[in-house]
Amino acid sequence: MKMQLAEIAKAVNAENDIERWKTLEVSSVSFDSREVTEGALFVPLMGERDGHTFVDSAAKNGAVATFWCRDHTDISTDLPVIVVKDTLQALQDLSRYYLMKINPRVVAVTGSNGKTTTKDMIAALLATQFNVTKTQDNFNNEIGVPVTILSMEPTTELLVVEMGMDRPGQLEFLSKLAQPDLAVITMIGEAHIEFFGTRDKIADAKMEITSGLKADGVFIYNGDEPLLRERAEAISQYQRTFGREAINDFYPTDIVATPTATSFKTNRWPDETFEIPLIGEYNVNNALAALAVAATYQIRPENMHQALKDFDITENRTEWMKGARGEQILSDVYNSNPTAVKEVLSAFIQVPAKRKRIAVLGDMLELGTDADAMHAELADYLHPDQIQSLYLIGTHMKALENKLITIYPSDSLHYFPTTDLSALIMQLDKEVTEDDLVLLKGSHGIHLEEALNALK
């Protein structure tokens, strides 16, 4: 991004005169003063803390201008200031303007599980033939999507945007902001069911991603999900489906799992074998979604093959790592819900272990009043013959422990309250050897990344 301040001021309807700074050039946008780089426009947002208090810090780190909310009448900075009604709205308005200016084709991705991995796969496939910008980290909300848009280089041809949600209307807003040419829904699960109540309502909310889908756009979704098939009938845009069942436009054949990767064929290219550096048939579904997008943009099969095999995985999404003792760690600690845990457990027990398989499971958050029951249901996927040692942490994991007491030996079943993560880490560290496989899976609020860091 490179824009003069006069252009930015016009895009966001600035409420002050910036004539003396109009030719000042801005090269990036940041809302975190700690991550500001030279030439940045700082966006002071109103959250738990008032972002205006960090303007001076942003200036020291290289910011050359800042937005300023008009209700903060005392402008206490020497930086050039663009006064706006609301700084978040100004960020969003600027991203709309910049999106129109660069005019890439936009691929929007959402889903209860797999959206980040699918986004990474799509971007890798498309990048074999196009200039691509994709969402970094978890920048998938009302702040992150505009920042992703503004991170585009002028040469960007395709923008792959991840969109998250935790309430009705959120995806509608993001979709209308980004105006996608192609929208993808990976699946419907139980994520955020605390706020939506039923899977039907989650499906309604996920379908909001089509709100801004262009009239000549493409809608790609998981055809194994009846809730999506029903709702897709109301969408007039061209549609393609993916899934494990043969009713879909893209479905897998000949799936072969190894300890660190999965290969498969598809009905679309029956002679081509694809490989992904991930375990689990659920990740084959994510790959099929990405292949459906790639086919839409006419990516050559040989390019798809290499890109899937080598794509970069966003950190802590079903990623194999090596611990300090040499043990293999399967890290999936960014988020968690019942569908995701069942899938990763099913994959984990297929990986050969020299000694033990050890699973560390943290609470699955935002499941509402049925949370204890959903945690207890995981017992059907856990057995001491397959996972020899089990660590559970969190309020709701107590319900799972109660279900497993008669199944697991007492010295193989370890429960810890949420506040005792350090005790879990200490005990886990004593048990693990170089010949073990360790799974870490939990919602981000449980902070199992601390256990990962300790093992590494």
C-alpha 261: how far from chain center: 21
Sequence-separated (6 or more) residues with CB below 8 Å from residue 418: 363, 393, 394, 395, 446
175 a known binding residue? Answer: no
280 a known binding residue? Answer: no
222 a known binding residue? Answer: no
**Which string of b and e fits 230-256 if b means at least 16 CB within 10 Å?**
ebbeeeebebbbbbbeeebbbbbeeee
Q: How far is CA 249 from CA 209, 230, 243, 258, in A?
A: 21, 16, 8, 26
116 a known binding residue? Answer: yes
114 a known binding residue? Answer: yes
117 a known binding residue? Answer: yes
Binding-site residue numbers for ATP are 111-117
Binding residues: 111-117
